[in-house]
């Protein structure tokens, strides 16, 4: 295992310390480093909290800031944060208008966020993200997995909360965005969890995993490496077939951590052409490594159907370490 | 070789097409796809053009936009763009106040930009970047290599040009920033050039290359993998020793393309502590994969000594695909 670390036991703490220090203008470490919170602006609005296992950076800590999250709770690598962390985050950022938890659909996260909501009491609602069309159930999930589409929910609901939307409406909006969003991934290599010290799964030098999860969970099938256009075709077709809607869409091509920008833009080019051939109008675009799987090579494609309201909220100002526009 | 491509012959064209389409609000493809140019705002100011082999994305195309470059000329992977591309870019973006070429110190780039300047005629000046302290001469370079510090030169001179600084002053400023900037890299794995189809260099499963170049050129030494703090110590000490200055510094930790954000922030944490122990005040920070080497795992550390003027120009608004703040 080759990683730039001092030891697996200090990896998360050192990485979080670096993150908080590099972005000290926007965020700070919460009590006992249990969470990352925004430095300003959580009062008087619905507060958004997300979290999950580390290893998917910049999700979620990189999305803490104006127009997106109020706090993020990072667990150990690919391990749910504890209810304790979530309760501390709720108490720290609740600005009086209630708290919305945005939870990716993995059993540990779902259970711990639920427990935290009970423990914290007060006005708390939840949105569960389930955008991965690849498989119905999975290693750590009953139902569909929540993957890259989660950042779209965080961005759009974050903008609405900033504009003063109340908690029930924020929750309903989050569920609407999740329903309008579909993703699918492909892995060329496995990721390596530091504490495990070896690749999560074995994959041949000429193979790829279509429909892989963001923890390296199995997808739909293991096949020989295909040209980018064939990969994009399978993924976009699965997404469009499932999404149904034909409103203008946001197209997100998301790298898994080990994929160069050149390849992501090439995948974007292929995915866009195929989506357009299938009648989808691409009205917004995002390309980069936002919801990663440590060092895995591969990418996911996401389409989110955006009506006028969702488009306005997507375009609204955001100022976080990993996403920034309009201010 | 595992890459998301359709073929090595169409990789660059498809990637550029995707890039231009994903960022159509900011940039467009120039004549015959020879270059990327900004959509607005090159008139009446000094125009900045950079370029070089592809494979280092987002450098340079990702830095085209307000407050940074006016055009970028991408060559094939790790291959200089041709003078023809550069001349076309000069003719397209020269807004009447002259053109500054920002050139990383590699023989092919230097030769071709020089030839282009002669062919294009008119008011053209050049800044050569040479920030890599690792080695004196290298595979493709006489003198020091230009690496991640190049983006700092592009950002600061870009801001000055936007504010109306004239060509001789922009050139002098670029040279001043280059002199105030030092970098060094480390590779854990090799990159794989698509057309070659195999890793550029062999490296053992427990080895790293200290001082590696951004094309995988040899560095100072090949040693056993060390903890992050030892790696950061060697790199920061080499940089600080060479830089001398003790003004407040920008600390840039730059990923080479295959390195997860978690590790980059951990390296930032270690590098910052070591730099501060050596008396350096860190006044600005940047962490991410900005000057990459395809899929290479590893990172570089850069320190740039910023006086008040340079700090103001660093902080000035920038609006490009890969760097965006203040607007």
Report CB contact under 8 Å: A2, B294.
no
Residue A298 · residue A307 · CB < 8 Å: no
**What's residue A247's pLDDT?**
84
Statement to judge: residues B148 and B285 lie in one domain? no
Domain assignment present for B117: yes
Distance CA A13, CA A74 (A): 10
Residue B324 · residue B63 · CB < 8 Å: no
Residues of A in contact with B269 (CB under 8 A): 14-15, 17-18, 21
Contacts with B, A 214-243, CB within 8 Å? 225, 227-229, 231
Distance CA A208, CA B4 (A): 10
Distance CA A183, CA A147 (A): 7
Terminal-to-terminal C-alpha distance of chain B: 41
**What's residue B216's pLDDT?**
96
Number of CB atoms found within 10 A of residue B315's CB: 14
- Report the CATH number at residue A215: 3.30.1180.20
- Look up B215 and say whether it is catalytic: yes
Least confident segment among A134-148, A156-170, B275-289: A134-148
Chain B: residue whose CA lies nearest to A290: B261
Residues of A in contact with B195 (CB under 8 A): none
Domain assignment present for B225: yes
Structure-block tokens of residue A56: 């998917």
Statement to judge: residues B38 and B125 lie in one domain? yes
Where are the strands (E) in B165-265, listed by range? 181-187, 207-210, 221-224, 249-255
Statement to judge: residues B281 and B248 lie in one domain? yes
Min distance B109 CA to chain A CA atoms (Å) = 20
On the question of pLDDT at B151 being above 90, the answer is yes
On the question of pLDDT at A275 being above 80, the answer is yes
- Report the CATH number at residue B158: 3.40.50.10440
**What's residue B281's pLDDT?**
96
Distance CA A52, CA A106 (A): 9
Terminal-to-terminal C-alpha distance of chain A: 41
Distance CA A102, CA A121 (A): 17
Mean pLDDT taken over chain B: 97
A137 or B234, which is more confident? B234
Q: What is each CA distance from A269 to A185, A194, A232, B177, in whole angstroms?
A: 16, 33, 9, 36
**Which helix H or strand E contains A283, and what residues bound it?**
strand A282-288
Chain A: residue whose CA lies nearest to B12: A262
Catalytic entry in A23, A60, A215, A319: A215
Structure-block tokens of residue A163: 């504009």
Domain assignment present for A3: no
Statement to judge: residues A74 and A222 lie in one domain? no
pLDDT tens readout for residues A99-108: 999 999 999 9
Residues of B in contact with A62 (CB under 8 A): 261
For chain B, percent of residues with pLDDT exceeding 70: 100
Statement to judge: residues A282 and A176 lie in one domain? no
Distance CA B58, CA B292 (A): 8
Angle A179-A182-A187 (CA atoms, 0-180°, nearest 5)?
150
The count of residues in chain B is 327
Distance CA B165, CA B100 (A): 12
Residues of B in contact with A270 (CB under 8 A): 6, 14, 18
Min distance B282 CA to chain A CA atoms (Å) = 10
Residue B29 · residue B36 · CB < 8 Å: yes
Nearest-by-Cβ selection for A295 from B55, B268, B297: B297
Statement to judge: residues A113 and A202 lie in one domain? no
pLDDT tens readout for residues B208-266: 999 999 999 999 999 999 999 999 999 999 999 999 867 899 999 999 999 999 999 99
Nearest-by-Cβ selection for B295 from A19, A258, A270: A258
- DSSP-derived secondary structure letter, A134: S
Strands B324-325 and B318-319: antiparallel
pLDDT tens readout for residues B53-66: 999 999 999 999 99
For an interface test with A, give the residue of B260, B287, B320 to mutate (most A CBs within 10 A).
Answer: B260
Statement to judge: residues B142 and B200 lie in one domain? no
Min distance B223 CA to chain A CA atoms (Å) = 13
Give one DSSP letter per residue of A199-262, joined into a string: BSS---TTEEEET--TTS---SEEEE---HHHHHHHHHHHHHHHH---S-EEEEEEE-BS--HH
Residues of A in contact with B290 (CB under 8 A): none
Domain assignment present for B145: yes
On the question of pLDDT at A95 being above 80, the answer is yes
For an interface test with A, give the residue of B4, B207, B235 to mutate (most A CBs within 10 A).
Answer: B4
On the question of pLDDT at A245 being above 80, the answer is no
Report CB contact under 8 Å: B5, A266.
yes
pLDDT band, very low/low/confident/very high, at A41 (cuts 50, 70, 90): confident
Statement to judge: residues B165 and B274 lie in one domain? no
Statement to judge: residues A157 and A24 lie in one domain? yes
On the question of pLDDT at B327 being above 80, the answer is no
Domain assignment present for A5: no
A266 and chain B in contact, CB less than 8 A = yes
Domain assignment present for A6: no
B289 and chain A in contact, CB less than 8 A = yes
Nearest-by-Cβ selection for A261 from B6, B229, B292: B292
Spatial CB neighbours of B57, under 8 Å, sequence gap ≥ 6 = A260, A261, A262, A265, B15, B292
Residue B211 · residue B220 · CB < 8 Å: yes
pLDDT band, very low/low/confident/very high, at A110 (cuts 50, 70, 90): very high
Please, what's the largest Cα pairwise distance for chain A? Answer: 54
Statement to judge: residues A130 and A194 lie in one domain? no
Nearest-by-Cβ selection for B4 from A272, A299, A327: A299
**What's residue A158's pLDDT?**
98
Q: What is each CA distance from A141 to A108, A218, B124, B251, in whole angstroms?
A: 9, 12, 60, 41
**What's residue B41's pLDDT?**
84
Statement to judge: residues B187 and B155 lie in one domain? no
Structure-block tokens of residue B217: 């050129």
- Look up A23 and say whether it is catalytic: no
Model-wide pTM > 0.90: yes
Strands A36-38 and B249-255: unpaired
Residues of B in contact with A205 (CB under 8 A): 2
**What's residue B247's pLDDT?**
84
Domain assignment present for B235: yes
Report CB contact under 8 Å: B262, A23.
no
Min distance A37 CA to chain B CA atoms (Å) = 17
**What's residue B25's pLDDT?**
96
Using a 10 angstrom Cβ sphere, with 0-12 exposed, 13-18 middle and 19 or more buried, the burial of residue B67 is: buried
Structural domains in chain B (count): 2
Min distance B185 CA to chain A CA atoms (Å) = 12
**What's residue A327's pLDDT?**
76
Report CB contact under 8 Å: A54, B262.
yes
Catalytic entry in A56, A60, A66, A319: A56
Domain assignment present for B125: yes
Residues of A in contact with B6 (CB under 8 A): 227-229, 266, 270
On the question of pLDDT at A43 being above 90, the answer is no
Contacts with A, B 9-68, CB within 8 Å? 11-12, 14-19, 21-23, 54-55, 57-58, 62
Nearest-by-Cβ selection for B6 from A62, A227, A286: A227
Distance CA B69, CA B81 (A): 16
Give one DSSP letter per residue of B78-108, joined into a string: TSPPPHHHHHHHHHHH--SS-EEEEEES-HH
Statement to judge: residues B37 and B175 lie in one domain? yes
Residues of A in contact with B205 (CB under 8 A): 2
Rounded to 10 degrees, the C-alpha dihedral A182/A188/A194/A197 comes to 140
Structure-block tokens of residue A93: 């950022």
For an interface test with A, give the residue of B18, B203, B253 to mutate (most A CBs within 10 A).
Answer: B18
Sign of CA dihedral A135, A138, A141, A145: negative
On the question of pLDDT at A289 being above 80, the answer is yes
**What's residue A310's pLDDT?**
98
Cβ contacts below 8 Å, chain A against chain B, sum to 183
On the question of pLDDT at A226 being above 90, the answer is yes
Residue A27 · residue A65 · CB < 8 Å: yes
Structure-block tokens of residue B295: 């899929």
Structure-block tokens of residue A127: 């949105």
The candidate with the shortest Cα–Cα distance to B161, out of B41, B250, B308, B269, is B41
**What's residue A190's pLDDT?**
97
Domain that holds residue A167: 11-180+316-325
For an interface test with A, give the residue of B60, B212, B226, B266 to mutate (most A CBs within 10 A).
Answer: B266
The candidate with the shortest Cα–Cα distance to A12, out of A64, A71, A73, is A73
């Amino acid at each position: 295992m080759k990683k730039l670390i001092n030891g697996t036991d200090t990896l998360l703490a050192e990485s979080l310390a670096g993150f908080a220090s590099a972005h000290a203008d926007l965020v700070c470490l919460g009590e006992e480093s249990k969470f990352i919170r925004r430095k300003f602006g959580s009062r008087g609005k619905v507060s958004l909290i997300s979290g999950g296992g580390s290893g998917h950076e910049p999700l979620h800590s990189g999305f803490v800031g104006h127009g997106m999250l109020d706090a993020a709770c990072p667990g150990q690598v690919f391990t749910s944060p504890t209810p304790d962390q979530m309760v501390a985050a709720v108490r720290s950022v609740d600005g009086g208008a209630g708290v919305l938890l945005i939870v990716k659909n993995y059993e540990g996260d779902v259970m711990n966020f639920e427990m935290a909501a009970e423990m914290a009491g007060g006005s708390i609602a939840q949105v569960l993200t389930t955008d991965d069309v690849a498989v119905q159930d999975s290693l750590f999930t009953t139902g569909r997995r929540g993957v890259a589409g989660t950042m779209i929910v965080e961005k759009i609901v974050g903008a609405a909360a900033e504009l003063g939307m109340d908690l029930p409406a924020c929750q309903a909006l989050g569920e609407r965005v999740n329903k309008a969003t579909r993703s699918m991934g492909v892995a060329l290599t496995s990721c390596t969890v530091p504490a495990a010290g070896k690749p999560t799964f074995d994959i041949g030098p000429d193979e790829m995993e279509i429909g892989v999860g963001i923890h390296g969970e199995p997808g739909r099938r293991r096949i020989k490496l295909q040209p980018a256009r064939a990969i994009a075709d399978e993924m976009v077709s699965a997404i469009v077939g499932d999404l149904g809607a034909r409103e203008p869409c946001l197209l997100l091509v998301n790298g898994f951590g080990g994929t160069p920008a050149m390849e992501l833009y090439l995948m974007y080019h292929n995915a866009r052409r195929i989506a357009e051939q299938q009648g989808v109008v691409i009205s917004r675009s995002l390309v980069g490594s936002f919801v990663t799987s440590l060092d895995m090579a591969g990418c996911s494609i996401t389409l989110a159907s955006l009506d006028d309201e969702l488009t306005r909220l997507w375009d609204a100002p955001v100022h976080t370490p990993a996403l920034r526009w309009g201010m």
